Amino acid sequence: DVVLWMYPLMAISSKKMSPFLAVLGTGILTLSYQGLFELAKQFLDPYDNESFGKGEDPLVVDTLIAETNAGSVRWLNGLEKFPISSQRIQEGELSEYLLPLRGISVEELEQLKKEKKERERELQERREKEEKERQLAEAAAKAQRKAAEAMIPG
């Protein structure tokens, strides 16, 4: 930003440059440098936590970064060290690990933690219920096999 402010002064103080070229150079420098500067700020803040993009960015930086990393082979064997169980991945229960597009406040973070604990409790209850149902179905099938074997003379 300092370069953009100082360029007209440097150009005018130079005796060899015409005022027309100083104005034209200032405009070109402002257009090119300011655009690169904004792009650099967006790359340094891909989730727009500091509102550099002001919500009107046609370039979706997080998608660009994701596409850049999509072909990376170094993550292929990382699933064993991933802190999420493979069962959750297979069931598609990854919603609490998705990052928001904008930053979140401390109150929202506390609310998210409470919701996560509630979802985990409900998920555990559902898994226990399904396990009991499976065990009952296995016991019923085993009882049916025993009854069928007892009826068939051997």
Confidence class for position 59, pLDDT limits 50, 70, 90: low
Q: How far apart are CA 30 and CA 14, in angstroms?
A: 19
User: What percentage of the chain has pLDDT greater than the value 90?
Assistant: 19
Return the pLDDT at 79: 61
Residue 119 CB contacts under 8 Å (≥ 6 apart), including other chains: 96
DSSP state letter for 76: T
How long a stretch of residues is the chain?
154
Chain segment 75-86, per-residue pLDDT in tens: 666 666 666 676
Q: How far apart are CA 106 and CA 31, in angstroms?
A: 38
Whether 34 and 5 have beta carbons less than 8 Å apart is answered as no
Return the pLDDT at 83: 66
Q: How far apart are CA 28 and CA 43, in angstroms?
A: 23
